[in-house]
């Protein structure tokens, strides 16, 4: 699917995002330099609009202009919006408050009361959320996570464990935490957790890329989790926990693929602005256009069959590799010392590495794409 195949509403959404992206770009270096100072930018019309657009209609505090009203409705709309916004700057997108990845998990697993609680907590526009699955020694193999929900004699559960590389780990006020209630993968459940809470501590890690997201570590030492905060209680056993969130992960993966592609476009735009006749420019433009067509096709496929992990894995693998390749091309095209002369480009060269790890590394995506031919999987 090309840009020409988009219906008028999606084209309008795309064009609006292109305009907003300019404002995002103007804030990119300030947030990278001082990620703790991001609050200063939260009332910017662009960030307010993005927060509102990623909130379901019935929980929105204000009306949305134009086609933003449809932003949350389809994977295709999210994908094309994310390409254009990340073409402004992907770092500031990840620094924003709002539902983010936790919202997708709550939408997939939460009941009406839990959704209400989650989205009402975000109504002030100044609340960050967290999606806590990864642990210090349990990353790719998420089903081996060791955090536990144990029965609390006083009712509900107690959460114990450590999570790492989680966005907004120390500053998030509400989010989703995954832990196990028993030995099997089906016993991995998710709960809504509000912080600060007794038994919780969190701190930010010193990251080199996407610094505005304040990735960090969260420790839970017997944190009380009331029964009504456990997500998926209204769902069949097989859909309550980590498997039930599978569809949300597929949408998430397309979104991350879109951001990596947007970053690749940003790098290409930047290089061509500074050195219009850069060697290989035509080929790069053609490859970017082809990657965007692939992204749109995959997003349409996810809208039709959200349970299939292969298309999102293919596109994320492709766009993250392409974005990294573009950083190498940019360094060659602009010449020795270019990263010192072009701080935005230098920041993007750092940001780009993050996409490899978010929501599945390249190797894990390869296992999703060709599960029957992957000898590595048999070793696990």
Ligand X SMILES: Cc1cc2nc3c(=O)[nH]c(=O)nc-3n(C[C@H](O)[C@H](O)[C@H](O)COP(=O)(O)OP(=O)(O)OC[C@H]3O[C@@H](n4cnc5c(N)ncnc54)[C@H](O)[C@@H]3O)c2cc1C
| Contact footprint for ligand X (CB under 6 A) | 131-134, 139-140, 165-167, 210, 215, 354, 357-358, 361, 363-364, 376, 380
CA pair distance 213, 163, nearest whole angstrom:
16
Q: For ligand X, give the closer residue by CB, 28 or 167.
A: 167
Question: Other C-beta atoms within 10 Å of 369: how many?
Answer: 15
Smallest distance, Å, CB 363 to ligand X? Answer: 3
Smallest distance, Å, CB 243 to ligand X? Answer: 16
| Residue 188 CB contacts under 8 Å (≥ 6 apart), including other chains | 142, 143, 145, 178, 179, 180, 181, 241, 242
Smallest distance, Å, CB 378 to ligand X? Answer: 10
- 3-class secondary-structure state, position 132: strand
| Residue 26 CB contacts under 8 Å (≥ 6 apart), including other chains | none
List phi, psi (to 5°) of 160.
-135, 130
Question: Other C-beta atoms within 10 Å of 40: how many?
Answer: 11
Smallest distance, Å, CB 22 to ligand X? Answer: 25
State which residue has the least CB distance to ligand X.
Answer: 139
Smallest distance, Å, CB 13 to ligand X? Answer: 26
Q: For ligand X, give the closer residue by CB, 326 or 358.
A: 358
Cα 359 → chain centroid: 8
Q: For ligand X, give the closer residue by CB, 88 or 216.
A: 216
Q: How many residues does the chain have?
A: 380
Smallest distance, Å, CB 106 to ligand X? Answer: 14
Q: For ligand X, give the closer residue by CB, 320 or 338.
A: 320
Smallest distance, Å, CB 36 to ligand X? Answer: 17
Burial of 80 (0-12, 13-18, 19+ CB in 10 A): buried
Q: For ligand X, give the closer residue by CB, 295 or 367.
A: 367
Q: For ligand X, give the closer residue by CB, 10 or 166.
A: 166
Best CA proximity match to 315, nearest among 367, 255, 245, 242 = 255
CA pair distance 195, 192, nearest whole angstrom:
10
CA pair distance 75, 99, nearest whole angstrom:
16
Q: For ligand X, give the closer residue by CB, 39 or 363.
A: 363
Q: Do 97 and 42 touch, CB atoms closer than 8 A?
A: yes
Give percent helix, percent strand, percent coil of the chain, each to the nearest 5: 60, 15, 30
Q: For ligand X, give the closer residue by CB, 140 or 237.
A: 140
Please report where in the chains the tokens 């919780």 appear, as a residue: 200
Smallest distance, Å, CB 203 to ligand X? Answer: 15
Q: For ligand X, give the closer residue by CB, 194 or 278.
A: 194
Smallest distance, Å, CB 315 to ligand X? Answer: 17
Q: Do 302 and 312 touch, CB atoms closer than 8 A?
A: yes
């Amino acid at each position: 699917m090309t840009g020409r195949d988009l219906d008028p509403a999606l084209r309008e959404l795309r064009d609006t995002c292109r305009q907003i992206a300019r404002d995002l770009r103007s804030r990119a270096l300030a947030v990278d330099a001082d990620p703790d100072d991001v609050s200063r930018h939260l009332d910017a019309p662009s960030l307010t609009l993005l927060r509102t657009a990623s909130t379901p209609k019935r929980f929105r505090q204000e009306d949305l202009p134009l086609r933003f009203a449809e932003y949350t409705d389809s994977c295709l709309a999210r994908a094309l919006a994310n390409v254009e916004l990340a073409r402004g700057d992907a770092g500031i997108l990840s620094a924003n408050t709002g539902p983010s990845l936790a919202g997708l998990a709550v939408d997939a697993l939460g009941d009406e009361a839990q959704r209400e609680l989650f989205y009402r907590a975000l109504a002030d526009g100044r609340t960050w959320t967290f999606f806590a699955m990864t642990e210090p020694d349990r990353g790719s193999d998420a089903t081996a996570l060791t955090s536990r929900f144990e029965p609390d004699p006083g009712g509900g559960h107690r959460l114990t464990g450590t999570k790492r590389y989680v966005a907004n780990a120390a500053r998030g006020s509400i989010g989703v935490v995954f832990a196990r209630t028993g030995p099997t993968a089906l016993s991995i459940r998710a709960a809504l957790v509000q912080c600060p809470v007794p038994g919780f501590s969190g701190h930010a890690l010193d990251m080199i890329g996407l610094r505005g997201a304040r990735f960090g570590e969260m420790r839970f030492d017997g944190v009380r989790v009331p029964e009504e905060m456990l997500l998926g209680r209204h769902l069949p056993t097989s859909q309550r926990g980590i498997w039930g969130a599978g569809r949300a992960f597929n949408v998430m993966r397309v979104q991350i693929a879109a951001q990596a592609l947007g970053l690749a476009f940003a790098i290409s735009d930047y290089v061509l602005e500074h050195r219009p006749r850069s060697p290989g420019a035509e080929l790069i433009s053609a490859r970017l256009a082809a990657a965007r067509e692939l992204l749109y096709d995959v997003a349409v496929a996810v809208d039709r069959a959200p349970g299939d992990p292969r298309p999102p894995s293919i596109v994320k693998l492709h766009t993250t590799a392409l974005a990294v390749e573009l950083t190498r091309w940019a360094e060659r095209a602009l010449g020795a010392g270019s990263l010192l002369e072009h701080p935005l480009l230098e920041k993007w060269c750092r940001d780009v590495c993050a996409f490899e790890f978010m929501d599945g590394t390249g190797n894990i995506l390869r296992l999703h794409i060709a599960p029957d031919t992957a000898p590595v999987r048999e070793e696990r």
